[in-house]
Amino acid sequence: MRVKMILPALTEAKSPLFRPIKYSLFPPLGLATLAAYLAPDDEIDLQDEHVETLSLDDDPELVVIQVYITNASRAYRHADHYRKRGAHVCLGGLHVTSLPEEAAAHADTIFLGPGEDTWPEFLADFRAGRARDRYVAPAKRSIHGIPPIRRDLIKRKLYLVPNSIVVSRGCPHRCDFCYKEAFFEGGNSYYVQKVDEALAEIERLPGRHLYFLDDHLFGDRRFATMLFDGMKGMGRLWQSAATVNSVLKPGLLEKAADAGLRSLFVGFENLDERNLREHRKVQNLGRDYAACIQRLHSQGVMVNGSFVFGMDGDGPDVFSRTVEWAVSQGIETATFHVMTPYPSTGLFQRIEQEGRLLHRDWDLYDTRHTVFRPARLTPDQLEEGYWRAYREFYTWRNIFSGATAHEELSGSLRHFAYAAGWKKCEPLWHLLIRAKRVARGLPFLEAVLDGLGRVGRQSRTRDAVSEVPSPYVTLDGETYTP
């Protein structure tokens, strides 16, 4: 059987003038996971439009397209194209689950929810000539025993981080702005792989660097503990994401650092606890952000802080206030977002009911454009402030200021190298993208990660860790119990 698998790109990622490096970071792991269920003699063509020009003049029997909100229009065009050519077109992903009727108009079969449990069923039905038009993930879901990912289909040289991996699904928390909530609705929304299977997948990956794309790698403490124990001694350098609460709990972060953790994405989201409470970001309530950052740095782990602008409590000062705080804390890199009400989320329903939704142009639901009327800002103020925050955080002055916030020279040097290498070398990254040699940047990334982890952790002492302030303190100083 001839199978075509496509990850459509955003318009920005296809610009002939400039392509941000963030679109060349990770390969389409979800499609490569589904490809593992196909037969050995199936002809599979996996294409990622972010890093290559799609070939659309072929005649596959089966076409599988992954759809998320900001690539939906391109995904639908590709789907319509292949349906006209006689292919059976399947659509799945976050956007399909959120708006199934919209997606169904462009597909022969749609998939709602995670696909590991329904994809094998569809393949059997398709080969028997009785494929249904809709497959819904069951309430009880599992990734135990899934076949090894078809990494042979991934064009490694086109990605800075080809060794991406996911060992869990979903998140144990339920923030009202999170798009993943709709995806896992109707069943278990957080579950993990077997530790032995996760370690076996890690062993298959060449080189040293890994990036765990899990929404919350620390979400199941027992699983994470066994995983980090198993990884210790592998000599890996890795990055991942976790919550403020999980970082502040004793024991687990130390195991992660011993196993090679060198950089962590942390969702701080907002400095106003009223905003966090309104959006059910309960895992951040009563937590001392400064203590979280200090604890990570004491373990030689860099911080990529995530912040959201446009919550109802945010006024015109939120942008400069957030940037100043992040710089003063020595956060190495920051990711800013315009609050975006995704379809089927609690936030979307509330904004729509209040008549504050501006439009449904999904191409602009990218956390860079304002798509609703904020409470204390104009749409233009929110959008302009977002861009200003990025410019200010990554000025040379603030990169130097953030670097000097570290107590040790090694921490300052790693901060400068990572922040400057990420944002101030964008023309060089663009040249590597154009030359299809992005993977050439991986040794630099590994060198920075290796140096910062090894040097930063050599100076750590048990006394220093024990002096980290209590995590159960709100931003305004009010004490909470865990």
pLDDT digits (tens, 9 = 90+) for 206-249: 999 999 999 999 999 999 999 999 999 999 999 999 999 999 98
Write the burial class of residue 188 (CB in 10 Å: 0-12 exposed, 13-18 middle, 19+ buried): middle
Domain ranges of the chain: 2-136, 160-466
Residue 195: how many CA atoms within 13 Å on its side-chain side?
12
Cα–Cα distances in Å, from 283 out to 34, 66, 221, 242, 248? 32, 30, 15, 11, 11
Per-position DSSP letters for 207-226, written without gaps between them? SSEEEE--S-TTSSHHHHHH
Question: What is the per-residue pLDDT across 256-286, written as a single tens digit (0 to 9) for each?
Answer: 999 999 999 998 988 888 877 777 666 666 5
* Predicted pLDDT at 183: 80
Is 68 in contact with 7 (CB distance < 8 Å)? no
Task: Tell me what pLDDT residue 188 has.
Answer: 82
From residue 392, alpha-carbon distances to 274, 275, 387, 388, 418 in Å are: 25, 23, 9, 6, 17
**What is 160-466's CATH topology?**
TIM Barrel (3.20.20)
- State the pLDDT at residue 288: 86
Half-sphere exposure of 377 (CA within 13 A, CB side): 25
Chain centre to alpha carbon of residue 469: 29
Return the DSSP state at 98.
H
In single-letter form, the type of residue at position 8 comes to: P
Closest alpha carbon to 28 in 88, 59, 71: 71
* pLDDT value for 228: 97
Residue 127 CA to residue 123 CA, distance in Å, equals: 6
C-alpha to C-alpha distance for 399 and 417, rounded to whole angstroms:
10
- Please calculate the CA angle 273-276-281 and round it to the nearest 5 degrees: 135
Q: How far apart (Å, rounded) are the C-alpha atoms in residues 39 and 126? A: 13
Which residues of the chain are modeled with pLDDT < 70? Answer: 11-19, 280-286, 452-482
Cβ-contact 8, 16 below 8 angstroms: no
Q: Mapping DSSP to helix (H, G, I), strand (E, B) and coil, where does residue 127 land?
A: helix
Residue 280's pLDDT is 63
d(CA 130, CA 193): 31
> What's the CATH class of domain 2-136?
alpha beta
- Quick one: pLDDT at residue 11? 67
The H or E element containing residue 59 is: none
Q: Can you give the pLDDT at residue 18?
A: 57
Neighbours of 440 (CB within 10 A): 12
**Cβ neighbours around 226 below 10 Å, total:** 17
What is the token pair recorded at 323?
């940037």
Query: Tokens for 80?
Result: 């319509």
Backbone angles phi, psi at 25, to 5 degrees: -85, -55
How far apart are the two ends of the chain, measured CA to CA in Å? 55
What pLDDT, on a 0 to 100 scale, did the predictor assign at position 460? Answer: 47
What CA–CA distance (Å, rounded) separates 376 from 55? 47
Other C-beta atoms lying within 10 Å of the C-beta of residue 318: 24
| Cβ atoms of 342 and 177 closer than 8 Å | yes
